[in-house]
Amino acid sequence: MNMTINFCGVTFPNPTVLASGILGVVGDSLKNVVINGAGGVTSKSVWLTRHDGHPGPVMMGTQNFYINAVGLPDGGIEKAREELKKYMEWNESQPEEKQVPLIGNIVAGSIKDFAEIAKGMRQIGPDIIEVNISCPNVEDEFGRPFAHCAISAGAATEIVKKNAGKIPVIVKLSPNVGNIGEIAKACEASGAEGLTVANTFGPGMVIDIDTAEPILANKVGGVSGPGIKPLAVKKVWDTASAVKIPIIGMGGVMTGRDVIEFMMAGASLVGIGAGVYYRGVEVFSSVVAEIEEWMVENKVANLQNIVGKALKK
């Protein structure tokens, strides 16, 4: 039985990937996720310089969803370098079959800064660079996330590609657009080697009815967790129908069956974010065991063969 996935020329031992922002950039946290079975790890979004997030409360969750407005707090590229290097050194010391790729996620507020942060991440040398153009708090000169406009999305992709050297570049899209296929095509045409679909939905709001006030200090936040899964699966389907480059799908993944569903919609790898809050860091080994069980029951020898299966019918 083969669960290995080749994505942008990089080998992932299984299709589960830690989503960006869930466990920061701390080397030991990333290592812990890998020890617990993840097939890939993504750093949280790294800025060029220190970036303060939003004041608290920044997050709340129910059994159906999480809402957050952490506001991408980060210590900047120099701090990230130390931590990501720690992970990379540990990973390289493992036997080859146990090594797990690192995806370095970058963010910026201008095209000029995207060039600089791409250079900084290239020097660190992760296996793949993921470009976050979809955070609701990071806007282009017209006041929108870059991912909300095909021209801005293409421009951010192009500048990162130019400065990333040989490292494959993937772009993280926003689900909060009418036609995600159009944005995906612009990124593909500008040199993206893959796409991540998608960031949080929203913005959403939760009101405390005892105080009649929004719970988050930022009032609104991005929504993740089980409730967004059907919406996210459709975004992956729409993206896979529009482009040829491979996709990391995510949004509400809790189980092995959820991973299979995203893969059938066209994802090659599948991110787990809020799932870590619901099932603990062990979610990765549990999900991998559930995928294995499904493969045995359904006589699937090679997992890569199910990518886009639902699209082809």
By CB under 6 A, name the binding residues for ligand FMN.
19-21, 44-45, 59, 66, 68, 70, 72, 105, 132, 172, 199-200, 224-225, 228, 250-253, 272-275
Closest-approach residue to ligand FMN (CB): 21
- For residue 135, indicate whether it is catalytic: yes
Which of 8, 135, 149, 187 is an active site residue?
135
The HSE-up count of residue 73 (CA atoms within 13 Å, CB side) is: 12
Phi, psi of 12 (to 5 degrees): -110, 130
Closer CB to ligand FMN, residue 72 or residue 264? 72
Closer CB to ligand FMN, residue 154 or residue 202? 202
With CA atoms as reference, report the closest residue to 21 among 277, 203, 255: 277
Closer CB to ligand FMN, residue 247 or residue 300? 247
Closer CB to ligand FMN, residue 5 or residue 274? 274
Q: Is 2 in contact with 15 (CB distance < 8 Å)?
A: no
Taking the complex as a whole, the smallest distance from the CB of residue 302 to ligand FMN amounts, in Å, to 25
Closer CB to ligand FMN, residue 23 or residue 295? 23
Maximum alpha-carbon separation in the chain: 56
Residues 6+ positions from 100 with CB-CB distance below 8 Å: 12, 13, 34, 38, 39, 40, 41, 91
Type of residue at 215 = I
Taking the complex as a whole, the smallest distance from the CB of residue 47 to ligand FMN amounts, in Å, to 10
Taking the complex as a whole, the smallest distance from the CB of residue 307 to ligand FMN amounts, in Å, to 19
Taking the complex as a whole, the smallest distance from the CB of residue 257 to ligand FMN amounts, in Å, to 15
Taking the complex as a whole, the smallest distance from the CB of residue 186 to ligand FMN amounts, in Å, to 18
Cα separation, 257 vs 294, whole angstroms: 8
Would you call 220 exposed, middle or buried from its count of C-beta atoms within 10 A (0-12, 13-18, 19+)?
Answer: middle
Q: Is 245 in contact with 191 (CB distance < 8 Å)?
A: no
- DSSP, collapsed to helix, strand or coil, labels residue 105 as strand
**Catalytically active residues, by annotation:** 135
